Structure 1
Amino acid sequence: MNKFFGHLHTILKHRHLVIKNASHCGIFFHALKHDLSKFSPKEFFPSVKYFVGVHSPVYEQRLANNYYSSICQHHTKRNPHHWEYWTDFFKGAIVVKTMPYKYAMEYVCDMLSASKVYDPKNFKRETTLNYFLERSPYYYMSNATREFVKWSLTRYRDFAFKGLKKKDTLAKYKEITSIYPDVEVITSLHTRLGNDKEVE
């Protein structure tokens, strides 16, 4: 399978699984527009170039371009289910806004799908939670978004999609967002350069 068809197959499989996941979580119609920007020329053709099949082409593009990814820039600023979409910059600080419920749930469905599509043989119910716990300290998320995503992935680990019914996740989202501010300002930035494990 060449890179063109390999990448096309991967993003179609991923998108279909996200929609399937979303149907379990009560956001089926919302998920129908998931990742459509991946089919735009600015994302699709660079992704074909860096396609390897075991992780996102974004990772390979970062390695080849001193960590900068035009794919990621184009994708995350057009898809509100990514935490990067909800970041802003002001006077040297990063301003983060809490993801609205439907996008936070789409993000959960997205991560579950990516974990399964890229490594189906090793996928277990705890896989995505472990991935998130390892990498999320380097994500610029609001505390409410972080806590809700962690709670949702923990529920999936413990109960599969039975633990992610909309009435339960929406109630938990409202509970968590009532505790934390909707917008937070981060003034202390992480530095993580070199040959250590790259966040994919």
Structure 2
Amino acid sequence: MKSYWKYLLYILEHKLNVLLECWKEGLYVQGMMHDMSKFNPIEFFPYARKFYLNKKLDEFEWEYAWLHHQHHNKHHWNYWVVDSVKREALPMPRKYLLEMICDYRSFSRTWGRKRIDTDMADRLIRNLLTEKVILHPKTRKECEFFIRKINESNIAK
């Protein structure tokens, strides 16, 4: 039971951190609605067992939970992939692209406060420009623009 409480606290912390990042971009509703599917039992229990009980999950259960999450949250690039073999994706609307970047930037926060260590957030954001991530060419260009903007604002600080 303790592991489920820990996971619930993690979700609430993550949602707070994403809300703060989305707020800066004017994505108020998205910031509040971000990752609501994580409360769905299809996702909640497998995630809690995997990350807080260190329990070996049935591979199907985990894959189903992750697939459910991707297909219920438009801020995941995977949501927009049409054909992974041909590496084809639909253009991602700007608001979801921004929410995805806010999601990644949120990892530089702990309960709303900025952390000194931002490695994870930086790695996730840089990963968007690699071949591992399948994006529509228009979306990739927009990603590059926003990442350049983030880098410029980090240098200015």
TM-score (norm 1): 0.63
2:59 counterpart of 1:65: yes
Aligned twin of 1:192: none
Aligned twin of 1:4: 4
Separation in 1 of the partners of 2:25 and 2:138?
A: 19
User: Structure 1 residue 74: deviation in Å?
Assistant: 0.4
Q: Which of 139, 146, 151 is matched with 1:152 structurally?
A: 146
1:5-64, Cα deviation, whole Å (9 max, x unpaired): 1211111111111111111111112322111000000000000111149xxx9xx86xx7
C-alpha spacing 1:116/1:151, structure 2 compared with 1 (3 Å): farther
2:123 alignment partner, SS class:
helix
1:155-200, Cα deviation, whole Å (9 max, x unpaired): 223315x9xxxxxxxxxxxxxxxxxxxxxxxxxxxxxxxxxxxxxx
2:80 counterpart of 1:86: yes
Separation in 1 of the partners of 2:138 and 2:80?
A: 13
User: Structure 1 residue 122: deviation in Å?
Assistant: 5.4
Aligned twin of 1:128: 121
Separation in 2 of the partners of 1:123 and 1:151?
A: 24
Verify the 8 A CA contact 1:80 1:103 in the aligned structure 2: yes
Equivalent runs, 1:95-110 vs 2, <5 Å? 95-110=88-103
User: Structure 1 residue 93: deviation in Å?
Assistant: 3.0
Equivalent runs, 1:1-200 vs 2, <5 Å? 2-52=2-52, 65=59, 69-89=63-83, 93-117=86-110, 123-124=117-118, 128-134=121-127, 136-159=130-153
1:88 alignment partner, SS class:
strand
Separation in 2 of the partners of 1:43 and 1:52?
A: 14
Structure 1's unaligned 5+ residue stretches are 163-200
Q: Higher helix proportion, which one?
A: 2
Verify the 8 A CA contact 2:7 2:48 in the aligned structure 1: yes
C-alpha spacing 1:30/1:65, structure 2 compared with 1 (3 Å): closer
RMSD, aligned CA? 3.2
Tell me the percent identity: 25
User: Structure 1 residue 151: deviation in Å?
Assistant: 2.8
Separation in 1 of the partners of 2:69 and 2:108?
A: 18
